[in-house]
Structure formats: C-alpha cells, structure tokens
A and B are shown apart, each in its own frame.
Chain A
C-alpha cells in the first residue's frame, strides 16, 4: 500500500547524546488528517524537520509518497507543502515577489504562477495585500501567507507544525477553517499541535509521541468512544419537581441520579443500547428533554492516560 507519509524506525541523536527520536514508525494514508501530539521535546518538530529535509536522521528512513526524503529530496519535497514552527519571511518583499520565486522553484510556468498566487492568496484572504510589503503584516496575516506559500504548488501532502502558535482566537479560527478546507479537498494533512481541542476538531487520527517514541495511535472516533463515561447528562425544559425526580429514579436502567435545577446526571451501565432505552423512556414518560449527552472524558484525559506521569505541557 502506498502511504502519503511513512517513516521506518526513525532515530535522531544529537552530538550532546540527546536522543530526540527513538525508533519512530508512522503510517499515514492518503487523504488522512493526522494530529501529531506530545509534550515539548517529544520529537514532533524533529520528525517534521526530517520529513521536510531540514534535518537528517541518524538512522531509519522517511518517505513521502513512497519517495525517500534523504535519498531523493528533490522529488519528495515537490509533493509536500510545509509550515514549520514560526518561520521568518522576507519582510522587505511583497507576497507576489516572494511567491513568484517559490513558484519558479516548483517549476511552475509564468501563467501558472500568476494563477496560483491569486488563488492561494484568495484562499488565505490576503488578495488585497498581494503588492504590499510583508513587513507591514500582522502575525495572523504572516501565518496565512506562509500557508499560502505551502499550498502554492498544490501539494498532495501538507505538513503543519504548530500552525496556530501565537495566534489570537480569530487567527486560530481562520487557520482551523483552512485546514478543514484542505481536508475537504482530499489533501493529506500531518498536523503537529499541542492544542488538543484543535486536533480533535480537524483530525481523523491522532498519534501520541513521548520521549521520541510513539506511545499511542488511534482514530479520534475510537478515542472518544473509549473515553465515554457511564454517565448521561440530561437537560430538561424546567427544573424537575420532587415527583419528577422520583419518576426518574424509577427507570430501571438508571443506577443513580443527581439533580441540580433543570439538569440531571444519570449513571447507567455504559452500554449504547441502554442509553437509547433511557432516552426512549424519558420521552415516553413525558419528560421535556432539551439535550441528552453521553459524558466523555475527551482527548485531554486520553492524553494524560497515555503519557503516564508526564505533565501535560505546551
């Protein structure tokens, strides 16, 4: 099977004897949006630097579209668009001047460069800034510009390392929206982030890295399911009366009930069928249900559980 991104037993040791990566093997299918999470120093950026030719592995291999990045960097890097950390930009140039150079590096024709510059800048909402000096841009605009550079040549694979780092809430929302668009276009996205909410919102799969090793990897759906608690939170239209609370406790699938105003926290056996039955009983017993949610511990708790005693860091 051809993977979009694949690494085989990747090891990176630095001269001070620090091992940043200790046998990392990844398999990312085409069209997947994969989150790569872990604490600071886990090896996320090192992996990305190897995948983008910025760093060489001490041993092991990294492939993009089955092309060895170390042996054939030109071919491999042609299929990648990358945003790594918070890159610098040539602030005395305009977006057009900078992107024209990169368009030529990707061997695009003059017409194609013109068209793609317009399309990319439009996508990142910088069309009006095409001929303005980059030095006048805000942090959010700079990040969007570097994303425009990453997608200029319409790559199959997009590698994003902490793409929302240092952005304000609006900037974060803009970048998240862009990643959704890339996902919908069928692009493979490999996203390193320390913001678990971000990863949960846009990724299909999450890979957890700690101390240079992959400690867990699963789909967001499976992780959510595994972290579901045996608790249902129900919000009613009005606060429950004593009588209604009694009727609630009488439902046989419910083990215990905690009521506070119009919200009830119901404990049950955790089976999906039981959850369905409880909802049916509530409706048939004329309870006015506004919302009904199975409580989930979420990705953060999963992160803490797979990282062991490691403190969750930025």
Chain B
C-alpha cells in the first residue's frame, strides 16, 4: 500500500516535471508565441466587416476556432513522441529514473495546456472585441458554453494528433497526417455521410461544430469548418457531441500512450 502510494507520488511529480520541460521547449522554440499571436490576430481580421449583432459577429469569428485548435494541437503534439525518436533525444531522455509513461503523459498535458492557452486568448480577444463593438451587455451568454466546448474539442484534437505522433516514425509525417485527418479526412467523410442523409454523429470534427452551433445562430457565411455549402440539415446534439469528443480524447490518448510506451528504436 505504502509502496504504491510512493509510486503514485513519483508518477505525479515526474509528470509535472515533464509538463514543465515541454512548456519550456514550446516557449524556446517560439511555437507558443506564434500560435498565441495567431489567436490574437485572427479575431482582429473580422473588423473588416462587422455584422449587425454581437451574436452574428461571434458566430463568424468562431468559425475559425476549430482550425486554430487543430493548428495548435499539430504544433504542440505533432512531434511530441516521433520527434524524440527521430532526433534521438530519447537516448538522453529515457535512461533516467522516471517512468516512460509519465514522460508521455507530461507531453500530452503540455500540448493540451498550450492549446488551452491559445483558445483562452482567442476567446478573450473575441470577448473584448464584442464588448468594444456592441457593449458588454450584448455579449451572448452562450459564448462561455462555446468556450467549454472548444476546450473539450482541444482534448480530442490533441489526442488524435498525439496518437499519430506515437505511431509514425517521422515528425513531418506524423504532424501532417494528424493535421490532415482533422482538417480534411474526417470532414470529407462527414460531408459524404451528410450528402447521403446520414448524420455523422460519431465523427469528432462534426461534433466540433458545437463550438459555433451552441450560439444558436445558423448559417455561418464562410470558414473552414465541417459544414460545407448545401449541407446544413444536420446539427450536432450537445450531449452526443460532447460524449463523442470525450471518447476520441480518451481512446486516442490511451492508444497513443500504449504504443509510445512499447516503442523501441
């Protein structure tokens, strides 16, 4: 009992060290700075054409939230594991007194935290913009709900990309495959299903549309979201969408951790 308590304590401490080290690496590689700048700059672009209501404005700006989450997840998790093996830094990182699982858990959490920060910046910028344009009283209450959905989608997106980082050998391949699966493969699949009148409720990128749909304003005029033109008949249900995102987050994280822990050169 005592031994397992100590072991658990060690696991927590090692994971904390790994998170800290990963965040330092994201900072030093300026990735965090780049994506954070993107999170602040993108909402500002929408000043070029301001719609009539705060809700419409937020809806427009949030169409880019999902792509920002995917970019951020790819930047922070795309080479989390494959990078250690490809650059051979595993040869100095692993022969140390820490469980490999804690290193990998730390990498995942650091990617999630970094993306959370980016999402937070995006929503803070959007909130300030909305308040500046329409007044504080006009900010839709559903924006908080959308923010929570974005955080949950972050967990799923990071897990999916992290999984490819554990499975694939090259950093470039793992980052691109992870990125494209969320930006292209799953949305295309979702699109095809909707064309044949099937709701793609089990596809995480379809569930991610909750980020905008919770605002209750339909028909975003543009954006790289999952809903292409002429296929607006399905809208993800809140409970199912959240459950699907959580399921993706858990399944891909566990699978990625298992593969990474067994991986040898």
Give the B-binding residues of A (Cβ under 8 A).
49, 52-56, 73-75, 77-78, 80, 82, 84-90, 92-93, 97, 101-102, 104-107, 146, 149
Give the A-binding residues of B (Cβ under 8 A).
10, 14, 17, 20-21, 24-25, 28-29, 87-92, 94-99, 264-265
B92 touches A87 (CB 8 A): yes
A85 touches B88 (CB 8 A): yes
B91 touches A105 (CB 8 A): no
A54 touches B97 (CB 8 A): no
B92 touches A93 (CB 8 A): no
B264 touches A87 (CB 8 A): no
Q: Could you say which residues of chain B place their CB within 8 Å of the CB of A77? A: 95-97
A53 touches B17 (CB 8 A): no
Q: Could you say which residues of chain B place their CB within 8 Å of the CB of A54? A: 90-91, 94-95, 264-265
> Contact check: which of B24, B25, B95, B98 meets A84 at CB < 8 Å?
B95
Name the residue of chain B whose CB is nearest to the CB of A105: B96
- With known contacts A54-B265, A97-B28, A101-B17, A73–B97 Cβ distance under 8 A: yes
Q: Report the minimum CB–CB distance from B93 to chain A (whole Å).
A: 9
A104 touches B24 (CB 8 A): no
Residue of A56, A77, A90, A146 with highest tally of chain B CB at under 10 A: A90
Q: Could you say which residues of chain B place their CB within 8 Å of the CB of A105? A: 14, 17, 96-98
Name the residue of chain B whose CB is nearest to the CB of A52: B95
Q: Could you say which residues of chain A place their CB within 8 Å of the CB of B96? A: 77, 102, 105-106
B88 touches A86 (CB 8 A): yes
Name the residue of chain A whose CB is nearest to the CB of B89: A88
CA distance A107 to B98 in the complex (A): 10
Q: Report the minimum CB–CB distance from A215 to chain B (whole Å).
A: 25
- Once A and B bind, how many residue pairs between them come within 8 Å at the CB atom? 72
CA distance A69 to B105 in the complex (A): 22
Name the residue of chain A whose CB is nearest to the CB of B16: A104
Q: Could you say which residues of chain A place their CB within 8 Å of the CB of B91? A: 54, 84-85, 87-88
CA distance A49 to B94 in the complex (A): 10
Q: Could you say which residues of chain A place their CB within 8 Å of the CB of B264? A: 49, 54-56
CA distance A85 to B10 in the complex (A): 29
> Contact check: which of A82, A92, A97, A101 meets B95 at CB < 8 Å?
A82
Q: Report the minimum CB–CB distance from A64 to chain B (whole Å).
A: 11
CA distance A74 to B21 in the complex (A): 19
Name the residue of chain B whose CB is nearest to the CB of A54: B94
Q: Could you say which residues of chain A place their CB within 8 Å of the CB of B17? A: 101, 104-105
Q: Could you say which residues of chain B place their CB within 8 Å of the CB of A74? A: 10, 97-99
> Contact check: which of A55, A90, A107 meets B89 at CB < 8 Å?
A90
B90 touches A92 (CB 8 A): no
A88 touches B24 (CB 8 A): no
Q: Could you say which residues of chain B place their CB within 8 Å of the CB of A85? A: 88, 91
Q: Could you say which residues of chain A place their CB within 8 Å of the CB of B88? A: 85-88
4 A-B pairs with least C-beta separation: A87-B91, A52-B95, A88-B88, A88-B87
CA distance A80 to B17 in the complex (A): 20
A80 touches B98 (CB 8 A): no
Q: Could you say which residues of chain A place their CB within 8 Å of the CB of B265? A: 49, 54-55
CA distance A77 to B92 in the complex (A): 12
CA distance A54 to B28 in the complex (A): 27
- With known contacts A85-B88, A97-B28, A80–B95 Cβ distance under 8 A: yes
Q: Report the minimum CB–CB distance from A275 to chain B (whole Å).
A: 47
> Contact check: which of B14, B25, B97 meets A78 at CB < 8 Å?
B97
Q: Could you say which residues of chain A place their CB within 8 Å of the CB of B97? A: 73-75, 77-78, 105-107
| 26 A-B contacts (beta carbon < 8 Å) | A52-B95, A53-B94, A54-B95, A54-B265, A55-B264, A73-B97, A75-B97, A77-B95, A87-B88, A87-B89, A87-B91, A87-B92, A88-B90, A88-B91, A89-B89, A92-B25, A92-B29, A93-B25, A93-B28, A101-B21, A101-B24, A104-B17, A105-B14, A105-B96, A106-B96, A106-B97
